[in-house]
Amino acid sequence: MTKGHRTFGLLGFPLGHSFSRRYFTEKFSNEGVDAEYVNFEFDSLDKLSEIFRRYPDISGFNVTIPYKERILDWLNDIDETARTIGAVNTVKVYHDNTDGYWLKGYNTDIIGFSDSISSMLTSECHSALVLGTGGASKAVMAGLRKLGIEAIPVSRRNVEAGFSYARLTPGIVSEHKVIVNTTPLGMFPDIYSFPDIPYEGIGVGHVCYDLVYNPAFTAFMGKCRDRGANVKCGLEMLYGQAEAAWDLWNNENY
């Protein structure tokens, strides 16, 4: 590994929606960091070795849809929290003296989400409906449980200890004062789409959080706010998880 200059990046497919490259490029420029941030837009993890061939000074990368769960099989080690969640969004690359690479996976989504939603929670927030069951959903559910909130997944199919969308009723929605959308519904350019839930069950006491951040105000948020809910998009979470990833990449204790 070369001294000085370092490469970081984002692994996913597609990556047209991502803010990470712009965020870290601006961060490196503002802070005088000798590094670059590259989009690794691969349609298969079989191409993962291209990163190390093309960027021998790679020091870490973020992971997004659809690889947060699939990447686990490609790692040499997994942080205990990420292993428990079952999803990784940050990989730290270690270099040995023989030009080999050792990859360790972490999950900073849980940090970004927990920090972002905590100030919104009230004494009524005992349980949550988490829309979607992908890698981001797993981090959100772990974050909610860490905050003392029962987290219940909602999927298109029947899931263990959860609901299918078809089973949701206004009464069920009314009982769970936190609703988190972890699906890509509503993301640019499909900005008019939203999760199919009975919004009439949402009221003034609800906290409705959308992981989508582009646009900053989604159709889901609009429908929830119209019913009196407190709403937030996922941009603050993105900043939080990005900074947590940067800390991991630069902390020699990890």
Of the residues 3, 47, 68, 146, which is catalytic? 68
Pair of tokens at residue 16:
């047209």
68 is catalytic: yes
Helix locations, 90-234, DSSP H: 109-117, 135-146, 170-175, 219-226
Whose tokens are 């902390």? That residue is 251
Task: For the chain, give the longest Cα–Cα distance.
Answer: 61
| Cα 45 → chain centroid | 19
Angle between helices 109-117 and 235-250 (to 10 degrees): 140
Distance in angstroms (rounded) separating the CA atoms of residues 181 and 223: 13
**Cis? peptide before 215, omega within 30° of 0:** yes
Scored b (16 or more CB within 10 A) or e, 31-57 reads eeeebbbbbbebeebeebeebeeebeb
Distance in angstroms (rounded) separating the CA atoms of residues 141 and 113: 10
Distance in angstroms (rounded) separating the CA atoms of residues 23 and 118: 24
Distance in angstroms (rounded) separating the CA atoms of residues 101 and 194: 41
Active site residues: 68
